[in-house]
Every structure is written in structure tokens, then in C-alpha cells.
A and B are shown apart, each in its own frame.
Chain A
Amino acid sequence: MTTKTAPAPAAAPPASSRRFSINLRQSGIYVAFALIVVLFTVLTDGALLQPQNISNIIVQNSYVLILAIGMILVIIGGHIDLSVGSTVALTGAICAVLTVQWGLPWPVAVLLTLLSGAVIGAAQGYWIAYFGIPAFIVTLAGMLVFRALTLTTLGNQGIGPFPDEIRSLANGFTGGYLGNVGLGPLGGADLVSLLAGLACVAGFGLSQWRKRAARLGYGQAVEPLPVFVLKIVGVAVVVMAVVVQLARFRNLPWVLVLLAALALGYSLMANNSVFGRHIYSIGGNLQAATLSGVKVKAVTFWVFVNMGALAALAGVIFAGRLNQAGPTAGMSFELDAIAAAFIGGAAVQGGVGKVVGAITGGLIMGVINNGMSLIGAPSERVMLVKGLVLLIAVAYDVWTKRRA
């Protein structure tokens, strides 16, 4: 593999400085993420990338990442949702009531919880889309109302413990169905996890290759082959490195499997579906979208329904992780999700943003959280750094746009 890519840089066309600068702007967030990971790896003497710690970062941030996926769509549509933290608490409480108090089977309970989240989203989406109240106001009201309903539901105390299945969705790992394989100096690793990782990498490479071939077939410009190969190899190396570490620890966390599926599905939806495109066009120019026949109200409504359902999923996972639905669950999660979306390249005016960007933004904050606590920084300093990172990320975005 390495011998094959070695002659690549020499073959690169000379006049590629402009292409490179465009790439830098689009990929600035990924470069920043890589630099932050390197920084904390050095500061923590490698503790950041230890198998157990990687697993922790994923599990601890899973619910914010799920919220970020919903939030980026809301923000692309030109809105905001301040209520997701309270929705996480309320849906966690609903799930607890359904399973612990009513004793419903867990799949039914989870489904009903997701449905209740969708109803919460629909209730807010109605006022925003059809009544025309700014999302900021509606979801600010929702933030208070749903927190109040949480307290009413829980009677100011926690409800738990949850069934094992819900706990393992939040905290559990895939089973070692095929046993372990030896990886030389790295020790034993779970074969299923490794195979899943390889399948992901192969699938990614193949789909990118087919996309490239199709673009070439239509006579479109594509990135030069060496850059393309380098990109695929880079992604493959990062993914496999993470998977190997996880396989050495306790296999793949179930939330990672879930997150991967959500990230893939929502990326495809945002980029390639008519619905996703309509979200971008509404955020880009509401009037133009209206006059182009986009069902602006319906699209906005469903974006909030989706946000509610994803918040409910985050609510189930968060409650399952703590093994208890508490009245203060999800406090300020909305701010983390919003920050993730903006660090990931969303624009306040709407119309811009990517699902993968929002996830990367969330991971940046997760790594900063984790890395700083590993080196023993007090929480106020973590907060300070996260605030500055948000400001710098958006300032960089504004600056590159002004230069363009």
C-alpha cells in the first residue's frame, strides 16, 4: 500500500495552490480536530488515545453528538432549538415511567419514547412553521415547559433502575462472537470489531470510488487521483486505529454503532434527498424557496419533529447511561449541541453546514473536555477553553468567507 502511494506527490499537477486553499477552508475543521487530538495526546503522555479512554470519549459524548445531528439540520434551516436539553430530560423520564413503573417491554417503551419526542418536536414545529413565531422564542418557552413537565413526571426525584437492554444501548459493547485474534505487540483484539471496521472502510472506499467514477462519467471535475487515494487512506487509517483500540478494550460500544448509522443516514439525507435540499434552500433564501414551490412550512415542521425524535433518542441513552431518569438531566445540552454545529461550520443565517461537520465539532469539544480533565484542569478552565474555541472557530469561518 505505502509503496503504491509513494510516487503520488511527484505526479501532482503543479498549479494546485488554489485548489489547496479551497480544500483548507473546507477541511479546516478536520485539521483543527487532528491538531487538538495531537496536542492532548502529547499533554497527556498518550493517555488520550488509550483504548479505554477512546471508548469513554465516544460513550460520554454520544448524546450530544446525536443532538448535534438534529441541531445542524435545524440551523441549516435558519432556526435554533433551545429546548433539546429539557426534551432529553422529559423523554428520559417518560422512558423511565414506561419501563420501570408500567413495566412495558423495552422495545415498546423506546419506540413510545421516540414517538413522544416527535410529538414534542411537532408541538414546537407547529408554532414555528405554521404560526410564524421565531424558533428562538418557541423553544425558549419549550425549554421551560418541558423541564417543568419533567419535574411533574418525576415528582422531583429520580426513577430507575432501567432494564439491562436500555443500559447496554447506552453503556454496553458488542459481544465477542468470533473470539479474539492476536495483534502481535498490541495483544488480543476482538475479531468481530476488526471485521466491522474493515467492512466500514471498504464500504467507504468503494462508495467514494463509485461516486468518483460516476462524476468522471458525467465529465465533471474531480480531485486528482493521488489526493483521492490519500484521502481514502487517511480515513481508513484513522478509522482502523480507533477500531483496533476499541477491539483491544471491550469491543465496539453499541452507541458507536448507532452513531455511525445515524451519521451515514443523515449525511445522505442532507446531501442527496429532496427533503434535505429543501432544508438548505429554505435556510439559504426563504422567499426564493417559497417562490420555487418548496413546501416551506411542512419542511420546517418536519425538521423540528426530527429534532424532537433525536432528542428523545439522546434522552433514552442518557438516562440508560446513568441508570436513572433525573430532574436535572440534559441541563445545557442544547448549548453543547448548538456549539458543536457552529464549530462544525454552520452559519447563523442558515443555509450552510454539514452533518459530519457538526459531529466533528462535537468531538472537538468532547476531546477538549476529556483531555483537560485527564491533565487535571479544573472545570472552570474547561469551560473557558470551550468558549474560546467556539469563538475562534466561528471567527475563522467569518474570516475565510470575507477573504473569498
Chain B
Amino acid sequence: MSDDILVMRGITKRFAGVTALHEVSLTVRRGEIHAICGENGAGKSTLMKVLSGVHPHGTYDGDILFEGESCSFHGVRDSERRGIVIIHQELALCGQLSVAENLFLGNERSRRGLIDWNRTNHEAQALLDRVGLRENPTTPVNDLGVGKQQLVEIAKALSKEVSLLILDEPTAALNDDDSQHLLDLLDGLRAEGITSVIISHKLGEVTRIADTVTVLRDGRTIETLPAKGLSEERIIAGMVGRDLEHRFPPRTPDIGEEVLRIEDWTVHSPAQPDRVVVDNATLSLRRGEIVGLAGLMGAGRTELAMSVFGRTYGVGVSGRVVKDGQEIDTRTVRGAIRHGLAYVSEDRKRYGLNLIEGVQRNVSAAALDKLATRGWVNENEEYTVAERFRKSMGIRTAAVSTPTGTLSGGNQQKVVLAKWMFTDPDVLILDEPTRGIDVGAKYEIYSIINDLAAQGRAVLVISSELPELLGLCDRVYALSEGRITGEVSREEATQERLMQYMTRGQSS
């Protein structure tokens, strides 16, 4: 047996005339953690789908050697039988079923066609212990947080006698604690001899945990590097094909008067009305200013934003929203929009876009009245508006009528931003504006945010990526357990300092 558990050679995969993978090669050594990095659309997920049999043998060119043997998988079951298990970004768990039922779904512990519940729960407990998840196997998966659900997925993979574990963006939805736990777990699995391949946008994690890094760009293998001593900048250089010394576009802030002030803002959870989610928060924004809102997952960032924007979250909301010195009514979304507020949600597919309609109808959605006279929409004006945003924001689409569901993440985000820019807001709240967007498109989004501020609007950026807040914002508030625990200016802000504020008051 050779040292290489997996060799993929000359993999070429075409979709209806588009070459997604071009002669891609990948060699994974036994027992290592191998990271695959690349922009969105670089071909990472496609490569993993070829490997796991989602794209069956015959639909691609090239060879796959697993454990030294040539493989021709015709489906996921084939690859799983060989010990290759893939965990997708969107978790594939049945929320209503218990942890144990999920672990053995499709692989039930049964006797003569009936489920052997004792054995199911007993073996489930053993698997949970192995991944360090202290939960009862009979708990419904819905009752667990995303981080724990991710562990259930890994436990499920372990139940299948996995020898090669593939994780697609495992930590994208996790907070730092859960991410750390997951990475520790992968470390432990490595010690047990399980090989892992992780696809990740979080380069800090990649450099920390991986042994080897393979960079893909535009469907080609660019380079494979040992991770030891590798810098994030070095990986980014390979991913984007240019030296990204400046990840953030330059900007000279021109900050004016205070435009919005949120005072003594308190919000309760709709699920548990006695639980305080946002606790007496006060923050202010000035014209032309980009302000960050930092916080760990569950700190109440999105809840704060959505409760201000038309009470779209929360019950028992109290506090004042003051704009230009006057208290305003933001109890309805229409009221918030009328007073010049805009909220770009963290989940653009669920909350931002009508994916079956084109750019044109999405851009107009929040301000259709501006294009209408007496209730009738002028579609030609609407088209002109959409074309204007398409050009000014560089939205890459075949036509403004192309359904937005077919656009890339970065372009979708531009459409959502265009929708809110068309309402001509004074204050924009951007919730995770660059989540799931590749490095090149991030730069474009940052430029748009800078332009918005330069036009005299105030921008509140909510982000889980501290470097993003540091690179973009004039001022950053830290939120912890619903309370504003700190406020630092651009000059004083460091990741360490923010992290201190963000964890203040926790478990005390």
C-alpha cells in the first residue's frame, strides 16, 4: 500500500459546454488533513462530487485511485461502501428525528426488519462519546444548535467505517467555540488514522489545522503546498491569481452629523418571552460612517437589527429609534423603509431574493411605488433602473430578466444591495454582507459599501469576520449576550480587544 490514500488524475468535468474542472489533479496522503481552497466557482465542490459519486463514473474524464485501486463510483452509496463519506455544507439531517435515528438513517440497526432500539441507542451513545457530544441519543436533532448538529453529521460518518472524510465548509455556520471544538475533533480523528479533506473559506483555520493545502482556481489545480508556515496571504495569492496586498479598498472617511440613534433597545425571544435577547442596547450612527457590530453567534446581532427594522423579530420590544433628532416609528417594515432604513439580511436566498424572478423585478421589489403612478408599474422605467444598477455595480448576468437563482453568490448579494439602494436609504444595516462570497467579489462589495458611505449614508455592518470589521469600519460596537459591551474606534481596534469585549459577561 502506498502512502497516498487518494489520487485523482486529470479530472475533467463539463456541464452543458462549460468546463467546471479542467485536468484537475489531487493527491491526498494517508492520515493527513488536506485543505482545498479556492474562490466560489473554482470547482472545489464539483471535484468532491466527482469523488463521492454524485457525478457518476462516465460523466467525467480522468482517473480516481482510492487505496491504490481504480474506482468507478455510480452513486454516493458506492463511495460510502469504500469508506469515503462527504458532509455537505447544508446539513442533511431530519430535524424531527432523534440523534440516534439520524445516525443510523439508511443504515438501521435492525433485527428481522424491526429496529433494535437498544442497540441503536447504545451504539449511538458510543459514537457521540467519540465526537465529544454530550447529548442524549433520543434528543430530536432540532433541539440541538448548528454546531452540535455538525458533530452529529460527523458521528454519522464514523458509523459508516469512514476512512476518508470530506467536509464542505464545516465551520461556515459555527461560532468560534464550536469551530474550535470541531477542529480539535478533526485533529483527534487524524490521530486515529482517519484522513480528512476539508473545503474552507476560513483561511485562518486552514493554516492552523491542515497538513497540506491544494489551491484551485477556475477549475484548475494551481498548487499544492505544505501548510506548515504558510501564510493566509500566500493562499489568497494562489486563489485569486494576484497579490492581494490590500483586501480592502482604500477610503477616506467623511463623517458628518449623527443620523440614527437606537436607545435603550430591549427585545425578548418570541419562543421564550421571558428571555432577553437584546438588553438595553444603545448605539448611534453618523452620516458617512461605517460602523461595525461584532458579536459571537447568539449574541443578538441579527435580532437587534431585525427588531429595529419593522419588528421582524422579537416580542416585548422597548426602546426608542431616533433619526435626525426625532423619534421615528419603525414598527412596520414599510414605516422603517419610509424613514430611510434598509436591512440586508444575512441569508440572501431565504430573506433577500425572489430567486425565480430576474434582477429587474428584484431590484424594484422594495420601492415599487417609486416606479408606479396610481398603482400601475412602468416596466420600462423599471428596466432602466435595473440596467443602471447592473452596470454601476457590475452585476454579472446574461440579462436583467435572468432568474436571480442562477447567479453566483456575489452577484446575488449585489442584487440585494441594489434593491435597497433603490429605496434611497439614509441608514443601511448589512447583516453578514460577504457571507459565502469569494474573495474577488468581497472586494467589490467592500467598494460598494465605501461608496454608500461616501454618499453620506450611514452603514451598520454585522459580521462574524473580525478582520472584515477592522478593515472596513470607522467604529465597532461589540455585543455580548444582548448587551453592548464595548465600542472601539478604528485606531484602537484589534481582534484581541474586540474578542475580549465580545466574550465579556459570558459564563459569569
Identify the A interface with B (CB < 8 A): 214-215, 217-221, 271-275, 277-278, 280-281, 284-285, 287-295, 347, 351-352
Contact = CB atoms under 8 A, between A and B. Distances in A.
B334 A293 contact: yes
B277 interface: no
A295 B387 CA distance: 27
Given A284-B354, A285-B350, 15 more contacts: A217-B380, A218-B383, A272-B376, A273-B372, A273-B375, A274-B376, A281-B365, A284-B355, A284-B356, A293-B310, A293-B334, A293-B336, A294-B365, A351-B354, A351-B356
Contacts of B21: none
B380 A215 contact: yes
A351 B357 CA distance: 9
Contact of A292 (B365, B379, B380): B365
A221 B368 CA distance: 22
B365 A289 contact: yes
Interchain residue pairs A-B with the least CB separation, the first 8: A284-B354, A292-B366, A293-B333, A218-B380, A293-B334, A292-B365, A285-B354, A293-B337
Nearest to A287: B351
A290 B312 CA distance: 9
Contacts of B372: 273-274
Given A215-B380, A218-B384, A274 B368 contact: yes
A274 B310 CA distance: 21
Contact of A289 (B310, B354, B364, B399): B354
Contacts of B399: 221
Interface of B: 309-310, 312, 332-334, 336-337, 343, 345, 350-357, 361, 364-366, 368-369, 372, 375-377, 379-381, 383-384, 387, 399, 419
A269 to B, nearest CB: 9
B383 A291 contact: no
B379 A272 contact: yes
Contacts of A284: 354-357
A23 to B, nearest CB: 14
A307 to B, nearest CB: 20
B283 to A, nearest CB: 21
A6 B431 CA distance: 58
Contact of B369 (A272, A274, A280, A281): A274
B447 to A, nearest CB: 24
Contacts of B384: 218
Nearest to B419: A292
Given A281-B361, A281-B365, A284-B355, A290 B377 contact: no
A287 to B, nearest CB: 5
Q: Which of B336, B354, B366 counts the most A-chain CB atoms under 10 A from its CB?
A: B354
B356 A288 contact: no
A287 B350 contact: yes
A281 B399 CA distance: 19
A135 to B, nearest CB: 20
A218 B386 CA distance: 12
A217 B355 CA distance: 29
B430 to A, nearest CB: 13
Given A285-B353, A293-B337, A280 B379 contact: no
Nearest to A220: B383
Contact of B377 (A273, A293, A294): A273
A352 B354 CA distance: 11
Nearest to A294: B365
A287 B366 CA distance: 12
Contacts of A292: 333, 365-366, 419
A291 B364 CA distance: 13
Contacts of A275: 375
Contacts of B361: 277, 280-281
Contacts of B366: 292-293
Q: Taking each of A277, A295, A352, which has the highest tally of chain B beta carbons within 10 Å of its own beta carbon?
A: A277
Contacts of B345: 291
A271 B387 CA distance: 20
A96 to B, nearest CB: 36
A294 B380 CA distance: 22
Contacts of A273: 372, 375-377
A288 B352 contact: yes
A24 B254 CA distance: 54
Contacts of B352: 288, 291
B377 A288 contact: no
**A217, A219, A221, A292: which has the most chain B beta carbons within 10 Å?**
A292
Contacts of A285: 350, 353-355
A288 B350 CA distance: 7
B351 A288 contact: yes
B350 to A, nearest CB: 6
Interface centre among A287, A291, A295 (most CB of B within 10 A): A291
A291 B355 contact: no
A352 B383 contact: no
B369 to A, nearest CB: 6
Contacts of B332: 293
A293 B422 CA distance: 13
Contacts of B375: 273-275
Nearest to B344: A291
A275 B458 CA distance: 32
A295 B333 CA distance: 9
B356 A291 contact: no
7 contacts: A274-B368, A277-B368, A278-B368, A285-B355, A288-B352, A294-B365, A352-B356
Nearest to B381: A218
Contacts of A294: 365
Which residue, of B309, B369, B383, has the highest number of chain A Cβ atoms within 10 A?
Answer: B383
Contacts of B357: 280-281, 284, 351
Nearest to B357: A284
B380 A291 contact: no
A279 B157 CA distance: 44
A277 B333 contact: no
Given A274-B368, A281-B361, A284-B355, A291 B377 contact: no
Contacts of A280: 354, 357, 361
A288 B368 contact: no
B423 to A, nearest CB: 8
A281 B380 contact: no
A21 to B, nearest CB: 13
A220 B364 CA distance: 17
A17 B355 CA distance: 26
A290 B356 CA distance: 17
Given A274-B375, A351-B354, A288 B365 contact: yes
Contacts of B353: 285, 288
